[in-house]
Structure 1
Amino acid sequence: MTSAPLLFTVRRSQPELVPPAAPTPREVKLLSDIDDQEGLRFNIPMMFIYRHEPSMKEKDPVKVLRHALSQALVYYYPFAGRIREGAGRKLMVDCTGEGVMFVEAEADVTLDEFGDALHPPLPCFEELLYDVPGSELIIDRPIRLIQVTRLKCGSFILVVYLNHTMSDGAGLKLFMNAWAEMARGAHKPSIQPVWNREILMARDPPHITCNHHEYEQIFSSNTIKEEDTTTLVHQSFFFRTSDIVVLRLLVPFHLRHCTTFDLITSCFWCCRTKALQLEADDEIRMMCIVNARSRFNANNSPLVGYYGNCFAYPAAVTTAGKLCGNSLGYAVELVRKLKAEVTEEYMHSVADLMVIKERCLFTTIRSCVVSDVTRIKLREVDFGWGEAVYGGAAKSGAGPFPGAAYIIPHKNVEGEEGFILLVCLSFEAMKRFAKELDEMLGKQN
């Protein structure tokens, strides 16, 4: 017998603009040619869940976070501005100091009522982030939309809408850390933010020097099954340590030192491809988000405190028949190889490609992309209430692209550390995906 879905009511105050706590420079700053590509022109909701902390009983999380936010914006003042679009679709930030959108809310529910699933997809998630009209747009709108929802038990849920043209996951973590430090009484961030977007501007003249399968524009008439977006559902799958051991035993001995990310990503790609029931000769792509900060010259100090987008999503290309007809090791080899492609030169080549190909979108047909947020450790963001119960993406899919998945570190209610895989598929494909995953992990009935 399945329990009834959790329903609760959220009461919100009127949205307000929170400006920087002190005067900030009035200027226009160009985004980089990595930042303003088509594939990043969307908002992505990030969620943080905090339990009641007895030592903070006299503190109101809404007031603490609102005040600290205004202080953090003094240092991250471009977030208080507005995105503008110039000639050639070039994006820039008009540092107006207007502020970010902030919503105070209360829910008539306790954290315990959510049960074991203190991670996405959360029941009534749409109630935890007020949908300000036009919030799906990024130009001439507040760059951040934030809702802090108090729960009856003293816990609270923070949802931050991230404008992806401004920051990647690592950049978000820098901002969140600074905000949290202010909430805990600091007067300035321990890591000073830097703009330096010129590092990832296209060269003059721009010239593409690497292969970029992720931006190849392909056409296909056989996309109906994959592109059925009318019944999309979001689901999370928890990988225990024992599950990772099972996957590791499925790959050849010489690959068993591969990362957990490689294993889960390869597993996801194989199960998803089977679930979509593609033709054997259909060309498919797996794109992995690769943080490129470490790929730059070690002496490149301008990247310390850099909160712009500094990643690529190189693509592995094969056919559905080859992927599904080989062992998991075949996918792992492809994933490992594509991650190694990202170098400083690769990043400059992407920036040049964006200018030459008019900021084109990555390939979406028979493609999926996996984002690894295990290393940025968003759960560690501490506003004074301790580590978050959950910190990471609020749902799978990225903007208009449902084929985006996330791998997020998570501790379940039993205290077991593992990884959540957030997936978005059509209802029928999701059922097939879950079955394929159980079979691969040896859990089939």
Structure 2
Amino acid sequence: MASNKKNANLLSFENKEVVFIKPSNLTPSTILSLSSIDHSMMGFFAQSLHVYRSLLGNPNSSEDDDRNTTNTINPTTKRDPAKVITKALSKALFYYYPLAGKLVKHGDGKLRINCTSDGVPFQEVICNCNLSSLNYLDNDDVEIAKHFGIDFPFEDEHGNQYLMALKLTKFLCGGFICAWGVNHAVIDGTGKVQFLVALSELAAGESEPSVKPVWERERLVGKITSHPLGIPMDNAYAAVSPLMPTTDYSHACFRVNKESITRLKRSLMEDIDHSAVALKKRFTTFECLAAYIWRARARALKLNEDGETMLLIIVGLRQRLEDPLPSGYYGNGVVDVYVKLTVKQLKEQPLFEVVKRIREGLIASSSNDYITNYMDTIENDPLGDNLDYESAALTILTDWRYLGSFNKIDFGWKKAVNMMPVPLKMMCDILPPNSSMRGGVRFFTTQPTTAMPKFKEEMKLLMTNDPTINFQSRL
């Protein structure tokens, strides 16, 4: 692909009125309760961008996208992506009818879904350029990509939250970008992919989804207990940064190729005590990158060395339960894994020791006892009042590589040529490589603007093809 770049200031948009896509048929009018894990995600709206190129002429050629045309529908099939996708969305909401309702706080303080069939807010937008001029967002330019995220309110005039939203931006070439936003209190990443696969099946003419949605949120409800698991980091001892708090954040994406990952793993394995039971298997890509990113962020933020820092990893539990969740379950099926060190330990001890601690935390979290205790803990403290999610001492990391079958999502324009998150300031996300990469991963992060140069310096060392760099001892 070309390396075209476009200044965000040169983009102009024609924004159409927000409308509501309702279920295609009558659905139950009821009130649904959420799981304990759902409650812990209150107020968290996750967005992702899915980029689809035009099918004009040869779908494998980028030349057609550069033609000067004002045709924002598929020139080959005469199909308008907005009409195709909203029609399929209406059908999908018949099966996933809770998503057409609203999240409402009831008298007991609990959030519940009012299944009102009010619908999913949808906005169609026309952009004044061809997707090829943006390189299909393949440059991972987050500042450009932000313009295509959902920017209308996620709640009604009474403060009741929508559960899903869609913004579809069409380009002059016939390509388009879908921004899918979901209320994380109702659906997680795996559930979102399940929904989008169902939607694409209905867009292709199927009469019903191949996987039927399952609610069953009562299966993940914890118990009120006087001995919750607790958060391992006391805010009184949390490390602080001279660069935070701030309102000035920058976003970045780093492409870490497979050679860099191999080199990092090789460096980590050199000094390992192979008698350690937890290290009989080779380190995973995630474990290695998690340790490196955590340390890089601590250095970039200039955390005080006598303070504590914590890595919070969000991992799936669907197949870890003694009684696994059914395949159609689309609620939150995740637990938090906590790994705590002093900043001095994180910076100065060999990096493989940090990886070892991460592995131990991940292994411990896979037990049924941990999952049960975790649900009990958040049932006692659903809003996470004991944890400051915007603390400089906390690094939150997610792994998008195994969320589900993104390749099956095809609305009639073939699979997306690119997919990326809309950044949140407290999240770090590891994603699969995009179409222009041969293996490796993409890493999206948001940091205070004043910390980003140092963070980029740390990441550049990881991605530099220099076999002499020692990741273990470099301070």
Same-fold call, TM cutoff 0.5:
yes
Determine the structure 2 residue equivalent to 1:318: 341
Q: Which runs of 4+ in 1 moved over 6 A?
A: none
Determine the structure 2 residue equivalent to 1:359: 383
Determine the structure 1 residue equivalent to 2:328: 305
Evaluate the alpha carbon distance shift between residue 114 and residue 103 of structure 1 in structure 2; reply closer, same or farther with a 3 A threshold. same
Q: Which amino acid aligns with 1:387?
A: K
Matches within 5 A, 1:97-246: 97-115=117-135, 117-118=137-138, 120-133=140-153, 135=155, 140-203=160-223, 205-206=224-225, 208=227, 210=229, 212-213=231-232, 216-219=233-236, 223-246=240-263
Cα root mean square deviation, aligned: 2.6
Determine the structure 1 residue equivalent to 2:33: 30
Determine the structure 2 residue equivalent to 1:41: 43
Is there any run of 5+ residues in structure 1 with no aligned partner, and where?
Answer: none
Evaluate the alpha carbon distance shift between residue 116 and residue 151 of structure 1 in structure 2; reply closer, same or farther with a 3 A threshold. closer
Q: Provide the rounded CA distance (Å) in 2 between the counterparts of 1:40 and 1:332.
A: 31
Matched residue SS, 1:341: helix
TM-score between both structures, scaled by the size of structure 2: 0.84
Q: Provide the rounded CA distance (Å) in 1 between the counterparts of 2:369 and 2:335.
A: 11
Q: Percent identity?
A: 25
User: 2:229·2:376 contact (CA, 8 Å) conserved in 1?
Assistant: no
Q: Which amino acid aligns with 2:376?
A: D
User: 2:203·2:411 contact (CA, 8 Å) conserved in 1?
Assistant: yes
Determine the structure 1 residue equivalent to 2:410: 382
Evaluate the alpha carbon distance shift between residue 140 and residue 259 of structure 1 in structure 2; reply closer, same or farther with a 3 A threshold. same
Matched residue SS, 1:237: strand
Q: Provide the rounded CA distance (Å) in 2 between the counterparts of 1:153 and 1:43.
A: 30
Evaluate the alpha carbon distance shift between residue 8 and residue 335 of structure 1 in structure 2; reply closer, same or farther with a 3 A threshold. same
Is there any run of 5+ residues in structure 2 with no aligned partner, and where?
Answer: 60-73, 470-475
Determine the structure 1 residue equivalent to 2:303: 278
- Does 1:329 pair with 2:357? no
**After alignment, is 181-190 or 222-231 more displaced?**
222-231
Q: CA deviation at 1:273?
A: 1.0
Q: Provide the rounded CA distance (Å) in 1 between the counterparts of 2:108 and 2:19.
A: 33
Could you list the per-position Cα deviations for residues 292-326 of structure 1 after superposition, in whole angstroms to 9, with x for gaps in the alignment? 111112x53x4321100111111100011111112
Q: CA deviation at 1:225?
A: 2.5
Q: Provide the rounded CA distance (Å) in 1 between the counterparts of 2:5 and 2:124.
A: 30
Determine the structure 2 residue equivalent to 1:11: 14
Q: CA deviation at 1:210?
A: 4.2
Evaluate the alpha carbon distance shift between residue 221 and residue 305 of structure 1 in structure 2; reply closer, same or farther with a 3 A threshold. closer
User: 1:33·1:200 contact (CA, 8 Å) conserved in 2?
Assistant: yes
Q: CA deviation at 1:73?
A: 0.3
Matched residue SS, 2:129: coil
Structure with bigger gyration radius: 2
Could you list the per-position Cα deviations for residues 379-399 of structure 1 after superposition, in whole angstroms to 9, with x for gaps in the alignment? 42222222212224222x2xx
Evaluate the alpha carbon distance shift between residue 226 and residue 176 of structure 1 in structure 2; reply closer, same or farther with a 3 A threshold. farther
TM-score between both structures, scaled by the size of structure 1: 0.90
User: Match for 2:371 among 337, 343, 347?
Assistant: 347
Matched residue SS, 2:242: coil
Q: Provide the rounded CA distance (Å) in 2 between the counterparts of 1:308 and 1:387.
A: 25
Matches within 5 A, 1:54-73: 54=56, 57-58=76-77, 59-73=79-93
Determine the structure 2 residue equivalent to 1:439: 461
Aligned residues: 432
Determine the structure 2 residue equivalent to 1:288: 313
